[in-house]
Amino acid sequence: MYPFETGSFAPRNAWYVACFAEEVRQELISRIIVNTPLVIYRKQDGEVTVLGGRCPHRHFPLGKSHLENDVITCGYHGFSFGSDGQCVNIPSQDHTPKACRIPQYPAVEHGMWLWVWVGDPEKADPDLLPSQEELALKSHGLIPHTMFFHEVECRYQLLNDNLFDLSHLAFLHGTSIGTLENASTPEELEKREGFVSSMRHIRDAPSPPLMQKQGRYPTDRIDRSMGMASYLPGLHMGVTDVSYPASHPQVPGEKISHNRVYHAITPSTPGTCYYHFAVAVEDGVDVDQMRHSLAPVIDEDIFASVEIEKIIALYDGDPPAELMVKSDRNAVEGRRMLQAMMDAEQAEKERA
Amino acid sequence: MYPFETGSFAPRNAWYVACFAEEVRQELISRIIVNTPLVIYRKQDGEVTVLGGRCPHRHFPLGKSHLENDVITCGYHGFSFGSDGQCVNIPSQDHTPKACRIPQYPAVEHGMWLWVWVGDPEKADPDLLPSQEELALKSHGLIPHTMFFHEVECRYQLLNDNLFDLSHLAFLHGTSIGTLENASTPEELEKREGFVSSMRHIRDAPSPPLMQKQGRYPTDRIDRSMGMASYLPGLHMGVTDVSYPASHPQVPGEKISHNRVYHAITPSTPGTCYYHFAVAVEDGVDVDQMRHSLAPVIDEDIFASVEIEKIIALYDGDPPAELMVKSDRNAVEGRRMLQAMMDAEQAEKERA
Amino acid sequence: MYPFETGSFAPRNAWYVACFAEEVRQELISRIIVNTPLVIYRKQDGEVTVLGGRCPHRHFPLGKSHLENDVITCGYHGFSFGSDGQCVNIPSQDHTPKACRIPQYPAVEHGMWLWVWVGDPEKADPDLLPSQEELALKSHGLIPHTMFFHEVECRYQLLNDNLFDLSHLAFLHGTSIGTLENASTPEELEKREGFVSSMRHIRDAPSPPLMQKQGRYPTDRIDRSMGMASYLPGLHMGVTDVSYPASHPQVPGEKISHNRVYHAITPSTPGTCYYHFAVAVEDGVDVDQMRHSLAPVIDEDIFASVEIEKIIALYDGDPPAELMVKSDRNAVEGRRMLQAMMDAEQAEKERA
């Protein structure tokens, strides 16, 4: 499935963001991750549990059922399931067969997110996640804030591709957070297993239109280091470090501000995905203003991705080969790693 | 097609409810039954006719055309068809070929319904229908009332399955017409060709929340005999008989009230169906109140079925095997009979 | 694809109306013609250019991008394309590869329309278009006016078929522009390569209901010559010439009025098409009133075509054979020519 090989949709052996951790309360949340229906809730002891979202009896969605004392009761025929997925009651009979259970999926709260693993549970290692230190969530003097959740009508990789290539800031977001330098400045690429990143060090250039309008910085021309650190398959951390340019008469090179933004892209069905957006900013930043300013920016990314999905549909999902340029190296590498993850899963499946 | 074998959708050699008989007037009604477009109207002599709903000339829907003096005139190029389906006029020519005709389908008004047969007309025997006596329409001191018509976005069998297993009353309708006893009381099953039924005799138990709220019964604890008699493929008669419990000091075992409800489920396209709901109640029952009370109950059944259809879509219509329990015996038997009907039609088709 | 052979959708080697010429300004218009995404604009020198509407980099729609100084800049990553389709700038790099280009499609303004050719450009000969003289756009004392543009949810051929057979005027438009004589009067058919036409000379008959209501003609009974000249694949010119009947005491046979109407049907995707409607009328005709009167007539044609598309869907797009009658000769001939055009393209493709 574009841009992957035919039959490749998304890796299953991976941590995906299912929701913001703060959203998980003692009530049921429905999600579909890599085509797998899930139901999510917080137990009375404070732990989160993630279970299969389809009642094994008649396929009713457990996420639209009832929760009481950590037990889900299916809204249709009342089969009840404990927080480990084991059926604990079938109202129409005394006997509850052991075989009646729903899968429990590995889940971990980490940073602002609840992460779920819908693949082989043996492989679900929380250490595969980037550390909070690495994500600048418990350091750098930044305060994390959740921002937006969207269900998007496009394949997840279109949003990944969006984030792999920040040259789009100059155009898709050219009236808000981007300037031409976001495209023209050379990239510093980095990669390691399950990780790609691209950084641009923009020197002595005007600040973006939105920041100018808001008087965000005490000077017109700034140095900006901007980039994206992508933890595959779907967490992208945007990095921004702003300082006075070397040409500044009083405080050359002095730091002005910095922040991180977090785009969590989760494959839902082949044609839909989830988008969780969050930030970490310095104390004193007007977070409500930031939310207001960034909402249309994220909407632009969604607009572009959904429009591309419509173009792809003209080709029955198999569009002509893309013209690749230098700024696609990061996306090419990210896609290659994702394809390799899927190939490895496929090979393992064939061996079994 | 789930829950049937691949390629099996619905029997054609069967009577299906197309509409309530009272709806059929001297105007055109469109229906699609087992993927067959139909047009229905009442002739001036009072008889009903059911014809193919597709003009054989250019496929225009005859149900969106014009009726005058028992003749349908296609709204597109004016081909006219008599009530037997024979074309009687082609406005652009003098000659009307005999071959120009639309099929006429066997139809019979019986009880509150118009029944149509889209299969082999030779086999269309009205005696296959349950008698009005059996349906308690002309006996038992009950008065029939039509209630609701819905076009539902799910395969018909999901609504059949809903009705085959009344243990769902305790949960899907637990705040209105169901109590836990609807699931926990053992079933009495019965079957014969083209018929399955399940009855529960609930003894000395609280009446359902809705009936309590409405003060429907003169006592809190009642005996209820409740069940569903299913005339395949799609008419389900719900039976309720209420009496004082044996423990009642004055009138142990004395009858309080009874009624029948009728769910007619008709396969339209593979992903849609029609739902006609009606009742038969004792004289003096407030039918408007009943209509008001039962509308949300039927909506719950539709909600469950449509939600399941969405879950099934995640598996391209071929979901994992179901976990069957004791209360599924009635559904299993009903499905088995329906599959046998389809298998027989298929075998006959292959012989021909 | 009905009514053509399996795999046949629409000829590519043909002129199709993309929009009214007057709509083409120095701003971007998106169209999809025979499944081909396009972007259209008028250059500063007044010429029109039609380019591929899909950015070759990441499939973003160029029709939703930016135009400045005849250069389109993709709204996503800022690739810029000149009016010949050649990429002139990739913001993230200095080098612009020659291979980076979008196709330019032959286009010609002719009459009220912009015509586009999405097939083999070598074959795109403007002389294949009917002359303005033939279309009565620069003669006959008629003044052209554009009227309506619709995107229609049906395969284009359903609208072509609508126009090939004007017997539908008597029924689909029986309360406005049609009378029974539109169906019953014998046709005069004409054909030559890429052209079919049907004319009816209706003599001494009542004028249509709409014209009567508007008091359009100075006499109740008129002679009307009415018909459709179809320039394949998709321009249909409706001809109406009205005169006093031979029976008129004072001015037998004297001309009353005449006009032409133009239906341009353009295949977009397999299930959608564009409909551009225009007229040419005598000086003094109330064009606003005409627009108001004809809007519901065109809506009726669209209604019929979309309804037929829904019926066809019941048969997975492959409906039963049609019953053909005498008045279908024009449609049969038109379809046959279109099929031959597609067959020729297919044969050429297979040779290559």
Residue B76 lies in a domain: yes
CA–CA distance, C85 with C101 (Å, rounded to integer): 5
Residue A7 lies in a domain: no
Q: Are B282 and B138 contained in the same domain?
A: yes
Short-list B94, B65, B85, B67, CA closest to B77: B65
Residue B209 lies in a domain: yes
Q: How many CB pairs below 8 A link B and C?
A: 79
- How many helices (H) and strands (E) are present in chain A, helices listed first? 5, 18
R_g of chain C computed on alpha carbons = 22
HSE value, Cβ hemisphere, 13 Å, CA-based, for B170: 23
Mean pLDDT score across all residues of chain C: 97
- Give the count of beta carbons closer than 10 Å to the beta carbon of residue C195: 16
> Along chain B (352 residues), what's the average pLDDT of each consecutive run of 10 residues?
97 98 98 98 98 98 98 98 98 94 98 98 97 89 96 98 97 96 96 97 96 91 97 98 95 96 98 98 95 98 98 95 96 98 97 92
Q: Compute the nearest-CA separation of A56 from chain B (Å).
A: 6
Helix (H, G, I), strand (E, B) or coil at A241: strand
CB B52 within 8 A of CB B46: no
Go through chain C and tell me how many residues it has.
352
Both tokens of residue A171?
Answer: 């155009």
State yes or no: pLDDT of A140 exceeds 80.
no
* Residue-wise pLDDT tens digits, A288-325: 999 999 999 999 999 999 999 999 999 999 999 999 99
Q: Do A60 and B323 touch (CB under 8 A)?
A: no
* Residue-wise pLDDT tens digits, C200-240: 999 999 999 999 999 999 998 999 999 999 999 999 999 99
State yes or no: pLDDT of C139 exceeds 80.
no
Q: Compute the nearest-CA separation of C56 from chain A (Å).
A: 6
CA–CA distance, A307 with A317 (Å, rounded to integer): 13
Tell me if chain C has a CB within 8 Å of the CB of A335.
Answer: no
- In chain C, the number of structural domains is 2
Q: Are C213 and C73 contained in the same domain?
A: no
Q: Are A211 and A315 contained in the same domain?
A: yes
List A residues 142-181 in contact with C (Cβ-Cβ < 8 A).
161, 165, 167-168, 170-172, 180
Q: Compute the nearest-CA separation of A90 from chain C (Å).
A: 41
State yes or no: pLDDT of C259 exceeds 80.
yes
Q: Are A315 and A173 contained in the same domain?
A: yes
Q: What is the pLDDT of residue B140?
A: 76
Nearest residue on chain B to C318, alpha-carbon basis: B59
Both tokens of residue C181?
Answer: 């004589």
CA–CA distance, A103 with A83 (Å, rounded to integer): 10
CA–CA distance, B85 with B332 (Å, rounded to integer): 40
C-alpha distances out from residue C161 to B77, C130, C232, C331, C337, Å: 12, 20, 12, 6, 13
Helices (H), chain C: 156-164, 181-184, 209-214, 287-314, 329-351
Both tokens of residue B283?
Answer: 């004289």
Domain end: A97, A123, A149, which one? A123
Q: Residue A311: give its domain's CATH number.
A: 3.90.380.10
* Residue-wise pLDDT tens digits, C316-351: 999 999 999 999 999 999 999 999 999 999 999 999
HSE value, Cβ hemisphere, 13 Å, CA-based, for C6: 3
Chain A residues whose CB is inside 8 A of the C91 CB are 167, 170-171, 180, 183-184
With pLDDT > 90 as the criterion, what percentage of chain A qualifies?
97
Q: Are B95 and B139 contained in the same domain?
A: no
Q: Do B78 and C171 touch (CB under 8 A)?
A: yes
Residue A305 lies in a domain: yes
Q: Do A168 and C269 touch (CB under 8 A)?
A: no
Residue B10 lies in a domain: no
State yes or no: pLDDT of C282 exceeds 90.
yes
Helix (H, G, I), strand (E, B) or coil at B88: strand
Domain end: B123, B156, B178, which one? B123
Domain end: A88, A103, A123, which one? A123
Q: What is the pLDDT of residue B138?
A: 82
Nearest residue on chain C to A302, alpha-carbon basis: C76
Q: Do B311 and A90 touch (CB under 8 A)?
A: no
Structural domain boundaries enclosing C305: 132-347
CB A299 within 8 A of CB A307: no
Both tokens of residue B1?
Answer: 């097609």
CA–CA distance, A198 with A328 (Å, rounded to integer): 11
Residue A351 lies in a domain: no
CA–CA distance, A343 with A1 (Å, rounded to integer): 13
Q: Are C54 and C26 contained in the same domain?
A: yes
Nearest residue on chain C to B98, alpha-carbon basis: C323
Residue A139's pLDDT band (cuts 50, 70, 90): confident
**Roughly what angle, to the nearest 10 degrees, separates helices A329-351 and A156-164?**
140
Q: What is the pLDDT of residue B102?
A: 98
State yes or no: pLDDT of A29 exceeds 90.
yes
Both tokens of residue B222?
Answer: 């009642």
Residue C9 lies in a domain: no
**Residue B322 Rama label (left phi>0; alpha psi -120 to 50; beta):** beta
CB A271 within 8 A of CB A153: yes
Q: Do A308 and C32 touch (CB under 8 A)?
A: no
Both tokens of residue A5?
Answer: 């090989």
Q: Are A106 and A222 contained in the same domain?
A: no
The ipTM assigned to this model is 0.95
What string of DSSP letters covers B90-103?
-TT-S---TT-B--
Q: Do A60 and B167 touch (CB under 8 A)?
A: no
Mean pLDDT score across all residues of chain A: 97
Tell me if chain A has a CB within 8 Å of the CB of C101.
Answer: no
Residue B8 lies in a domain: no
Q: Do B319 and A92 touch (CB under 8 A)?
A: no
Chain A residues whose CB is inside 8 A of the C53 CB are 311
CA–CA distance, C62 with C81 (Å, rounded to integer): 10
β-pairing verdict for A36-42 and C195-206: unpaired
Q: Are C201 and C76 contained in the same domain?
A: no
Q: Are C146 and C102 contained in the same domain?
A: no
Q: What is the pLDDT of residue C289?
A: 96
- Which chains lie within 8 Å of chain A at 3 or more CB pairs, if any? B, C
Q: Compute the nearest-CA separation of A78 from chain B (Å).
A: 6
Mean pLDDT, residues A56-73: 98
Q: Are A208 and A312 contained in the same domain?
A: yes
Q: Residue B25: give its domain's CATH number.
A: 2.102.10.10
Task: Return the C-alpha torsion angle B350, C4, C6, C10, nearest 10.
Answer: -160
Q: Provide the whole-model pTM.
A: 0.96
> Which of A37, A78, A100 is facing B183, going by the closest CB pair?
A78
What does residue C44 show for φ and ψ, rounded to 5 degrees? Answer: -65, -25
Chain C residues whose CB is inside 8 A of the A312 CB are 59
Q: Are B105 and B51 contained in the same domain?
A: yes
Short-list A324, A285, A309, A278, CA closest to A135: A278
Q: What is the pLDDT of residue B52?
A: 98
Chain A residues whose CB is inside 8 A of the B322 CB are 56-59
Mean pLDDT, residues A102-129: 98
Q: Is the peptide bond before B3 cis (omega within 30 degrees of 0)?
A: yes
Q: Which of A75-84, A108-117, A136-145, C255-264 has the lowest mean pLDDT?
A: A136-145
Tell me if chain C has a CB within 8 Å of the CB of B35.
Answer: yes
Q: Are A70 and A181 contained in the same domain?
A: no
A4-35 CB burial, b ≥16 within 10 A, e <16: beeebbbbbbbbbbbbbbebbeeebbebbbbb
- Give the count of beta carbons closer than 10 Å to the beta carbon of residue B290: 18
Q: Is the peptide bond before B233 cis (omega within 30 degrees of 0)?
A: yes
